[in-house]
Copies of this chain bind each other. A is one copy, B any other.
Amino acid sequence: MNQDEIYMKRAIELAKKAKGKTCPNPLVGAVIVKNGKIIGEGYHKKAGLPHAEVEAINSVKDKNLLKGSTIYVNLEPCNHYGRTPPCSIAIIKSGIKRVVIGMRDINKKARGGVERMKSAGIDVKVGVLEDEARKLNEVFIENMVNKKPFFIMKAAMFLNGCISVKGGVSKWITSEKSRRLVHKLRGLNSAVLVGINTVLMDDPLLTCRVKGYRQPKRVVLDKNLRIPLTANIFSKYPENIYIVTSKQSDDAKKRVLEAMDVNIIECNLNGDEFDPDDLSKKLLDNEICSCLVEGGSRTHGYFLKRKLYNKAYLFYAPKITGSYGAFNVAGFEAVSTPDEAIRLNNVKCKSIDGDMLIEGYFDVHRHN
C-alpha cells in the first residue's frame, strides 16, 4: 500500500462507523494529512448532520494548519446545496491543496465537486482504493443506480434447502450464534422484511435484540391485509412497522392499523403480485435503503424470480430433513435448464458454531 492508500483505508474505516445509520446518504469518512501526519478526521454520522469533509475540517482546531494539507475522502465531495452546503466549497475555502478521492459520486444532483475544486486550483486525484470504496457504498450505489433498496436474502435452513420441518415449524434450525449474527444484520440495515405467511406461522417480533444496535424498520408484505391485530410484531415500536398492501384491501383495517401508529404502504399489483418497481420505489421513499428479507418460502421466491436480490446470507445447520411437507427456501417455479438458475458470485463460506454461512452477491439485471 502506498501513502494515499493507507490514508484512504483510514477514511473508509471512519466511514464504516456509521454503517446502517446514514440512510439515505452514503457512508463517508475523511482524513486530513499534513507533512505525513493526520491532523483531522471525521465521518458522516446521520442524514442532516454535517458531511465527513466538514467534520474533518472542524476537527482541526488551528485552521492555519489546513493550508497546504491533503484531504482523503472515499466519495467525491458534494457540490450541491442539500440539507447542508456543498463540501467542495468548504474545502476550497479551507486552504486544502490536494484532494484524494475513492470514487466519484453516483448521485447526479450531488456531483461536480471534482470539477469545481480543480478549477479552484486544487490538485485532485480520483480512484484510490476504488473497489473498496464502491463496496463500502454498495447500498447507496444500488439506491442511486437501480432506484431500489439493496435487498439482502437471509435464510436459515437445513442442508437440503428446507427452511422448516413438517407443517412449517422453523424454530430453531440454526445455532444461537448464527441467530445472534442475524440480529446484528437486522441492526445494520434500514429494514427487515417478511411475507404475511411468516407472520401467520411464526408470529415473529423481528426486532434487533443485540445491545448497541439500532432497531430496524419492519416491513410485512400483506397483499390482502390478513395480519391479525394481535400479532406479536405490534407489541413493540408500531411506528417502525410498514405494512405493504394493495389498494383493494380492507380500508377500515388500514385505518385501525394507522391509529395504532403502524404505517400502511399501498403498492400497485402486477397480476397477482406486488409490482417490483412500485414496491422498490415506495420502500425507498420511506428511507428503506437496505432491506434484510427473512422469508418465507414464497417471499424469497418472489424476490429471486424478480431478480431483486443483491446479496445473500444463507445459514445452513449441519442437518438434513425430509423435503416432503417442508418449505423450501426458494418457493417458485423451477427453471428448465441449470444454466438459467440464479447465480451467486464471490461466494464465501464460513463456519459459525457448527453451522455454515454462505455469503455471496447476485447479478442484478436491472442496472440502467
- CB <8 Å contact, B342 and A332: no
Closest B residue to A351 by beta carbon equals B349
Given contacts A332-B323, A344-B319, contact A337 B162 (CB under 8 A): no
- CB <8 Å contact, A358 and B356: yes
- CB <8 Å contact, B325 and A166: no
Binary flags per residue of A281-325, CB closer than 8 Å to B gives 1, else 0: 000000000000000010001001100000000101111111111
Given contacts A162-B161, A321-B330, A330-B322, contact A169 B337 (CB under 8 A): yes
Within 8 Å by CB of A334, from B324, B343, B356, lies B324
CB of A336 closer than 8 Å to a CB of B = yes
CA distance A351 to B331 in the complex (A): 27
- CB <8 Å contact, A330 and B320: yes
Given contacts A334-B162, A347-B356, contact A341 B324 (CB under 8 A): no
| Minimum distance in angstroms from A78 CB to a CB of chain B | 37
Chain B neighbourhood of A314, CB < 8 A: 159
CB of A333 closer than 8 Å to a CB of B = yes
Chain B neighbourhood of A304, CB < 8 A: 320, 322
Closest B residue to A173 by beta carbon equals B338
CA distance A322 to B331 in the complex (A): 6
| Minimum distance in angstroms from A356 CB to a CB of chain B | 5
CA distance A341 to B185 in the complex (A): 27
- CB <8 Å contact, B343 and A318: yes
CA distance A333 to B323 in the complex (A): 6
| Minimum distance in angstroms from A182 CB to a CB of chain B | 16
- As for how many copies of this chain the complex holds, the number is 2
- CB <8 Å contact, A321 and B349: no
CA distance A342 to B162 in the complex (A): 13
CB of A268 closer than 8 Å to a CB of B = no
CA distance A167 to B316 in the complex (A): 26
CB of A211 closer than 8 Å to a CB of B = no
CA distance A170 to B336 in the complex (A): 10
Given contacts A160-B329, A165-B336, contact A344 B324 (CB under 8 A): no
CB of A158 closer than 8 Å to a CB of B = yes
CB of A171 closer than 8 Å to a CB of B = yes
CA distance A144 to B274 in the complex (A): 59
CB of A238 closer than 8 Å to a CB of B = no
- CB <8 Å contact, A166 and B334: yes
Chain B neighbourhood of A301, CB < 8 A: 322
Chain B neighbourhood of A331, CB < 8 A: 322-324
CA distance A313 to B341 in the complex (A): 22
Chain B neighbourhood of A324, CB < 8 A: 331-334
CB of A237 closer than 8 Å to a CB of B = no
CB of A328 closer than 8 Å to a CB of B = yes
- CB <8 Å contact, A321 and B335: yes
- CB <8 Å contact, B342 and A321: yes
| Between-chain CB contacts (< 8 Å), 12 pairs | A157-B160, A160-B330, A162-B334, A165-B334, A169-B338, A318-B347, A321-B340, A322-B334, A322-B335, A323-B328, A328-B328, A347-B354
